[in-house]
Structure 1
């Protein structure tokens, strides 16, 4: 049996797709996409489609490339299914940003359904881990938000790099260094610097703020030194 579940999340179609196959009572689910708002419902629907005689469920997380705090609800749904049906459930192949989220939540990346990392190393510390969970989730949410901002900033930064490459005759790496140094010297966010550089090239574009102009001039002068 092979099938896929689709759901539109936040205006984007097919943010999460779950493919499945069942062989001799072993079900392998392969999520692909993002574990964001609504992902737990997608998983619940897929689990409900499994045959009643399934004796083992394994999730291969290789295809998951992004996860926010909703991913913890995804894991809770999986754990609830295991407890309700008495079926062993495992998740494997956590990598990249989703693995980082598990680490921030202090979950064991090889077995996030059953143990925290601290509890694995120090079973007596599990109560302390529970007390720290609220702070860990706050840090997790901050990191996810920073990643979202970085993703949103990428187009304007790439455009600014292209402008510098064209106007300064520099390489892509050199353009990146100029932007980064300008950000540091002017104490201005990198995205703001990139937006100012991009806007200034328009026919009616305003020049960058004075502090950014001065820092940009310095950064360009440093190139090659």
Structure 2
């Protein structure tokens, strides 16, 4: 099984947008595109405030969402709270890729995480013991899945640090977000240092009393900047 890296770590960051699509009377369909990261709750709240009076149902189409971190849970809570306050049903469907995997990790329904849980699930009979070869195969699959989950967790934890470092490079060297990402990646490769470690060093070095960049990171960053004409 090949680990699935979050798209936002290899692509340019995409801001969140929410568009309202024409639907039947009283039904609002909102198409969500971009990343569920810091600030996504404000975008959702604004879109919900603009819904016309008399809206009887709100449906979010999440097909265009390419990345989600912990802010995605707040996004869903905001939508759920709106439904409770206005006494209307709400839903968020069509999850794909990394956001769908995150829903699985936190135990939410991947078809619609806002769907009420079954309080009286049917009691299923215990499965028969698996044959030994099948058990070994399942154990191997479980090990691969745990490695993938750990990879996703590290990627989510690294996201804020990398974004801050990109912002520092953009402000210091007058480069775009995409250029800052490539500079970080090249510095990581040239210094043989993890990307998260390079980003953390840049953030610490930007503080007034922060430590200087490690020698190998400083040289690698200088070379990466020179390649970009900075």
Superposition TM-score, scaled by structure 2 size: 0.51
Matched, 1:111 2:112: yes
Deviation at 1:74, TM superposition (A): 0.7
Instruction: Give distance in 1, aligned partners of 2:154 and 2:120.
Output: 26
- Kept in 2, the 8 Å contact 1:68–1:141? The answer is no
Give the SS at the match of 1:61: strand
Instruction: Give distance in 2, aligned partners of 1:121 and 1:97.
Output: 30
Matched, 1:79 2:53: no
- Kept in 1, the 8 Å contact 2:185–2:195? The answer is no
Q: For residue 34 of structure 2, what is the aligned residue in structure 1?
A: 33
Q: How does 1:173-192 map to 2 (within 5 A)?
A: 189=194
Matched, 1:23 2:35: no
Instruction: Give distance in 1, aligned partners of 2:111 and 2:61.
Output: 12
Instruction: Give distance in 1, aligned partners of 2:50 and 2:15.
Output: 20
Which runs of 4 or more aligned residues in structure 1 lie more than 6 Å from their structure 2 counterparts after TM superposition?
148-154, 190-193
Instruction: Give distance in 2, aligned partners of 1:13 and 1:200.
Output: 21
Instruction: Give distance in 1, aligned partners of 2:103 and 2:44.
Output: 18
Deviation at 1:22, TM superposition (A): 3.6
Deviation at 1:199, TM superposition (A): 3.5
Instruction: Give distance in 2, aligned partners of 1:121 and 1:112.
Output: 18
- Kept in 1, the 8 Å contact 2:20–2:28? The answer is yes
Q: For residue 54 of structure 1, what is the aligned residue in structure 2?
A: 55
Deviation at 1:80, TM superposition (A): 0.9
- Relative distance call for 1:101 and 1:53 in structure 2 (3 A) is same
Give the RMSD, CA atoms, in angstroms.
4.2
Instruction: Give distance in 2, aligned partners of 1:99 and 1:36.
Output: 15
Instruction: Give distance in 1, aligned partners of 2:54 and 2:221.
Output: 65
Matched, 1:42 2:43: yes
Larger-gyration structure (1/2):
1
The runs of 5 or more residues in structure 2 that have no matched partner are 1-11, 124-149, 167-179, 199-215, 224-230
Deviation at 1:33, TM superposition (A): 1.1
Deviation at 1:109, TM superposition (A): 0.7
Q: For residue 213 of structure 1, what is the aligned residue in structure 2?
A: none
Q: For residue 103 of structure 2, what is the aligned residue in structure 1?
A: 102
- Relative distance call for 1:64 and 1:123 in structure 2 (3 A) is farther
Q: For residue 91 of structure 2, what is the aligned residue in structure 1?
A: 90
